[in-house]
């Protein structure tokens, strides 16, 4: 901790409601997020959200509409690079 902000008990600790949470390292966080993403893919959530291409029915829009980039940009206020995020998802540690 810095000299300007000394390490001291949190509000919950001072009032007897529990201790600080254990720190979460990057590797453990990455493992947790990977498991969550695997579960989502197993349940076909990305397909439900982003749509898919069917041989018989053609392109089917997902819950995010025909252009997911616009969906995120209008709700977040900035563009999200979905293709770049998808590429990063398949990177091995």
**Domain range annotation of the chain:** 21-89
Gap between the Cα atoms of 54 and 92, Å rounded? 30
Contact 11, 4 (CB under 8 A): no
Within 8 A by CB and 6+ apart from 12, the residues are 18, 19
The pLDDT score that the predictor gives to residue 12 is 76
Determine if the pTM surpasses 0.85: no
Residue 92's pLDDT is what? Answer: 46
Average pLDDT, the chain: 80
Where do we find the tokens 């300007």? 4
**Predicted confidence (pLDDT) per residue in 46-84, tens digit:** 888 888 899 998 989 888 888 878 888 888 888 777 666
Per-residue pLDDT of 10-55, as tens digits, reads 777 777 776 666 778 888 988 998 999 899 889 988 888 888 899 9
Q: Between 30 and 89, whose confidence is greater?
A: 30
């Amino acid at each position: 901790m810095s000299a300007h902000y000394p390490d001291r008990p949190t509000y919950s600790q001072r009032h007897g409601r529990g201790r600080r949470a254990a720190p979460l390292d990057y590797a453990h966080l990455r493992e947790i997020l990977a498991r969550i993403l695997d579960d989502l893919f197993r349940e076909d959530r990305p397909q439900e959200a982003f749509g898919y291409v069917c041989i018989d029915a053609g392109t089917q829009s997902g819950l995010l509409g025909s252009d997911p980039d616009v969906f995120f940009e209008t709700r977040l206020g900035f563009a999200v690079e979905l293709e770049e995020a998808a590429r990063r998802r398949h990177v091995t540690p």
